[in-house]
Amino acid sequence: MGQTATIPVLSSEEALARLKAAVHPKAQTYYAMYSSILGGIVTDPALMVLPMDDHMVHRGHAVFDTAAVVNGMVYQLDQHLDRFIRSAEMAKIPLPFSREQMREIILETIAASKQRKASVRYWLSAGPGGFGLSSSECVGSSFYVMIFAGLQYPDSYYTEGLRVITSTVPIKPPFFARVKSTNYLPNVLVVLEAKEKGVDSGIFIDERGMVGEGPNMNVAFVTKDQVLRHPKFDRILSGITAQRMLVLARRLVEQGLLKDVVVDDISVEEGKAAAEMLFFGSSIKVAPIVEWDGQPIGNGKPGPVAKALYELWLEDQQKGEGQLIPVPYRD
Ligand SMILES: Cc1ncc(COP(=O)(O)O)c(C=O)c1O
């Protein structure tokens, strides 16, 4: 006689009950999800699930993007959507809907969440259809939208600044760094390595010894002669925040706080000799970095350009022309 089976084979009803029971407390901040598989929006976190045969799950054949909802408006939605579509093209994932339809689905999902401050992340996947590599077996691309409370970084990041290390994790080759795909293993490892070493984050350096980017943010510098310098975007993700900050920083040139804004290669030595070092990103916003590999950057304190750029970013999120898309809430 064989051993008695201890793992139950569940009916659909039992499985659904278990999915509901498995919802953990953190899921309270998952407000709504659209799934093209369902053709609708769910607000019960138990139902925010994906088919196992979706190529996003088992092959990482998917792209994504994230934008912020602030005061009931989506900040820079169109810029994020443009990058999303560029990523989809690079990853050879056909769009299941037009850009306009995806934009509407995103806005409708935010409206269904009733949240006026949140993050909206959306994914385009090669879709379900089997467990092979080629998406030719897929029944069609899938589109998912998730509304959740955004990443919360400690206040000290802004008041005291971050400490970073040069990551030992290899940077993605340029093509893969420019596609915002779901293959974030290197990015995850940068964060884990930084935490293991007792600092806040890590910096990818390319094989030429030039500064790349952070795990989910871009990095910029202010030189001792007041030039804001950002690495070229040909080997890193083209950050929507960084692109905007490079435009807004022109105002600081007019005000005399900066002499110029330059996009060019930046060596590690040059970066370490800077007066200020900054992170830019949709989740971190604008944050000063005060220490790199145990050495202070500038005087080791958050600098005036980081503060001025953070204020410009705050103002832009409230009233940036062409940057704010209203959500069609129903109440
Ligand atoms: C690798 C990487 N670089 C840079 C950024 C910053 O981009 P954004 O300003 O569009 O959030 C992100 C975040 O999306 C990222 O994942």
Give the residues surrounding ligand 1 with Cβ less than 6 Å away. 187, 213, 216-218, 237, 239-242, 280-282
> What six digits make up the tokens of 129?
């259809």
> 3-state DSSP helix/strand/coil percent for the chain, to nearest 5?
35, 25, 40
Gap from CA of 242 to ligand 1 centroid (Å): 9
Assigned CATH topology for domain 14-148:
D-amino Acid Aminotransferase; Chain A, domain 1 (3.30.470)
Gap from CA of 284 to ligand 1 centroid (Å): 9
* 156-318: in CATH 3.20.10.10: yes
Gap from CA of 113 to ligand 1 centroid (Å): 24
Gap from CA of 330 to ligand 1 centroid (Å): 31
> What six digits make up the tokens of 82?
């443009």
Q: Best substitution site from 237, 240, 241, 248 to test ligand 1's pocket, by max atoms within 8 Å of Cβ?
A: 237
The 10 Å Cβ neighbour count of residue 297 is: 26
User: Could you tell me where in the chain the CATH 3.20.10.10 domains are found?
Assistant: 156-318
* pLDDT score at 4: 73
Burial state string for 299-328 with b = 16 or more CB within 10 A and e = fewer than 16: eeebbebbebbbebbeebbeebeebbbebe
Nearest atom of ligand 1 to the alpha carbon of 236:
3
User: Could you tell me where in the chain the CATH 3.30.470.10 domains are found?
Assistant: 14-148
* pLDDT score at 17: 98
* pLDDT score at 1: 53
> What six digits make up the tokens of 249?
């920083």
* pLDDT score at 331: 80
Nearest atom of ligand 1 to the alpha carbon of 65:
14
- Concerning whether 180 is annotated as a catalytic residue, the answer is yes
Gap from CA of 277 to ligand 1 centroid (Å): 16
pTM of the model: 0.96
Q: Best substitution site from 171, 179, 218, 247 to test ligand 1's pocket, by max atoms within 8 Å of Cβ?
A: 218
Catalytic pick among 180, 195, 301, 307 = 180
Rounded-to-integer distance, Cα 220 and Cα 213, Å: 9
Gap from CA of 183 to ligand 1 centroid (Å): 13
In contact, 31 and 115? CB cutoff 8 Å: yes
Per-residue pLDDT of the chain (331 residues; tens, 9 = 90+): 556 789 999 999 999 999 999 999 999 999 999 999 999 999 999 999 999 999 999 999 999 999 999 999 999 999 999 999 999 999 999 999 999 999 999 999 999 999 999 999 999 999 999 999 999 999 999 999 999 998 889 999 999 999 999 999 999 999 999 999 999 999 999 999 999 999 999 999 999 999 999 999 999 999 999 999 999 999 999 999 999 999 999 999 999 999 999 999 999 999 999 999 999 999 999 999 999 999 999 999 999 999 999 999 999 999 988 899 999 999 8
| Residue nearest atom 5 of ligand 1, based on CA coordinates | 217
Could you give the residue ranges of the DSSP H alpha helices within the chain?
12-21, 55-58, 77-90, 99-113, 156-159, 174-178, 185-196, 240-255, 268-272, 304-319
Q: Best substitution site from 151, 187, 216 to test ligand 1's pocket, by max atoms within 8 Å of Cβ?
A: 216
